[in-house]
Amino acid sequence: MQVRTVKPEDYSQIDELIRAAFTNTEHGYGQESELVNKIRTSDEYVDGLELVVTQDKAILGYGLLSEVHIKNKDQSFTGLVLAPLAVRVEFQKKGVGRLLMEELEKRATKLNYRFISILGHPSYYPKFNYVPASEYNVWPPFNVPDEAFMIKPLFKGALDGISGTVRYSKAFD
């Protein structure tokens, strides 16, 4: 398996993968593919943070990080949000998601981002050291279970003195 940056010729295969992966979840498909298309054309899109895992030219997994901000009344701090992470159903629980997470985090760290925020399954992301964002006084802009809204600082002290509400790009509206 290889991890690489997405190319435009991957888009249709990624669309199929996202639809299939999310259709089989407890929450079902929720327009994740349309979200990806909006993020790609937004100012918050970051080159090099849209990745696929491939094997024999087939795309097995997909992950996208885009910029978000933690805002309070005085300040704004830029970080990233993972949305979405998708793995072909037949390749789930085989390390594809882990490969994507590790490479996305490595690239985000190289680009000096402070954190990655995730709204996701509370039993999956803690294995990558994501914790409820509330532990850092960081809050979602909408009502979600505390354990599903997570964050990970990308370096020691990355979230020191930072608190506020995560603000997503207009692509998420």
Per-residue pLDDT of the chain (173 residues; tens, 9 = 90+): 999 999 999 999 999 999 998 886 666 666 888 999 999 999 999 999 999 999 998 999 999 999 999 999 989 999 999 999 999 999 999 999 999 999 999 999 999 999 999 999 999 999 999 999 999 999 999 999 999 999 999 999 999 999 999 999 999 98
Q: What is the pLDDT of residue 30?
A: 64
- Is residue 57 helix, strand or coil? coil
| C-beta contacts of 125-130 below 8 A and 24+ residues apart | 125/150, 126/150, 128/98, 128/101, 128/152
Q: Are 100 and 62 in contact (CB under 8 A)?
A: yes
Domain boundaries, the chain: 2-172
pLDDT at residue 157, rounded to an integer: 97
CATH fold, domain 2-172, is: Aminopeptidase (3.40.630)
Per residue, what are the HEC states of 22-35? HHCCCCCCCCHHHH
pLDDT reported for residue 23: 84
pLDDT of residue 32: 87
Give the number of other Cβ atoms within 10 Å of residue 72's Cβ: 14
Quote the pLDDT of residue 25. Answer: 64
Task: Report the pLDDT value the prediction gives residue 22, as an integer from 0 to 100.
Answer: 85
